[in-house]
Structure 1
Amino acid sequence: MRVRGGAGKVRRASPGAGGGAGGGRAPGEPGVGAIVVFVLLILLFACEVFLGGPWLTEVSVTVLSGIFVVVAGALLAPAFVSGGPSLRTLTVATLVLVVVVAVALVSVGTYVNSKDEDVTEGVKVAGKPGEMINTDGLTLTVPITRERDRLRLRVAGRDLPNGGSPCLPEARLTVSGAQSGDRQVRFARGVAAFDLPLRKGKKEVSVQIRLTTEESCRISLEIEDAVLTNDTLPEEAA
């Protein structure tokens, strides 16, 4: 575009002159609207993939949603600041940073979904574990708060003074439930430890425990640990 100067000279106008705020944008270069749509699509895709994972709690969903909002705001702000980076540069930076966030989410999700979950506090015991004799039993109701392959239980035993002693070394527990048939478990150093397989989709499982010991014995039982895990006990893995 040519304009005529005061002395009759012809000069070339600058590319952005009279073109408004968007006059300097080269053909094909994305505008602010395009970059907003681009970022929102990526964030929506990331939310759909990663926020739907069963390893997330309400708290972690809230935290991760906040992170997405902060990242989106930080990426979009330069597009509205004079002298900021070009929109093409912003597009590349957005893609890189969102990929980094996605990789971080996958790493966190993998860790959370594989670590053991302690549910000891939520175990409900039906029976009289404080003093048990031969053939007495307990029923445990264990909450399943995370999808895991196995339930690991550790039951501590103690000989009571009003019964024959020592009884615990020869005592044994018959355990059943949670997709497992009857199995015999003995005490080692005062603790009977065993794993039970879990079925997917269950919110809780019921475990039956029956004590076998000498007729004169009196034994106290206590649930020491109840853990949801993907690992197996060393003797079972062998």
Structure 2
Amino acid sequence: MRLYAIGDVHGRLDLLTAMHERIAAELERDRPADWRIVHLGDYVDRGPDSKGVIDFLIAAQQRDPRMIALAGNHDIGFLDFLAMPDAEGLFARYGGRETALSYGVAIDFSDPASVEQGWKDLVRAVSPEQRRFLHELPYSASFGDFFFCHAGVRPGIALERQAHDDLIWIRTAFHNHPGLYEKIIVHGHTPQPEAELMPNRVNVDTGAWQTGILTALVVDGVEKRVLTATG
């Protein structure tokens, strides 16, 4: 089984489309016996077309169940805002304005009246299908020797017992752990200039929304390589 793990998209539909085109060309050329494409979360916020990214992933999964989308902290933050408008929450402070704009809703998070009205407009603008997609995002996936999640895992805790908050939020304890885990952890969440390939983990978040570089890890038997899409 060939595995593709795509890092944080953050509203960059152009880069996600380009990455899928590259992957589709490889699959057509090489005809692997089986494959999975794992998206590592953070589809919304900061970039210009969060709505488009969600619609793209919904359509991709409807075409082929081998398209897997995991939850990121920003995706859960979007759901939290839809449930209750918080002008100090993750969505408001870290790119939610751009997400709302992709739905045609302008919100000034410094103005309580704008937050209240913008929240009502956004709740109406997000379709039941999009909301269901976000609610149903799994927090991890595992294939062979690789464990996929958005942020990382808590050292000393079995992979099947990891807390959801750690899977989408953890940084320092995970990054600084020198030992091996049960499997190699493939994650995003913490942007780096280029993919980090460590003995115990692989980070494919290259800050696509800002750098214009979306990165994926490709695992094909003993071959491991990095694939990028730029814009």
The TM-score range, normalised by the shorter chain, is under 0.3
Q: Relative contact order (alpha carbons < 8 A, sep ≥ 6): 1 or 2 greater?
A: 2
| Structure 1 or 2: more helix by fraction | 2
Q: Give the structure-2-normalised TM-score.
A: 0.19
Q: Give the structure-1-normalised TM-score.
A: 0.19
Bigger Rg, structure 1 or 2: 1
| Structure 1 or 2: more strand by fraction | 1
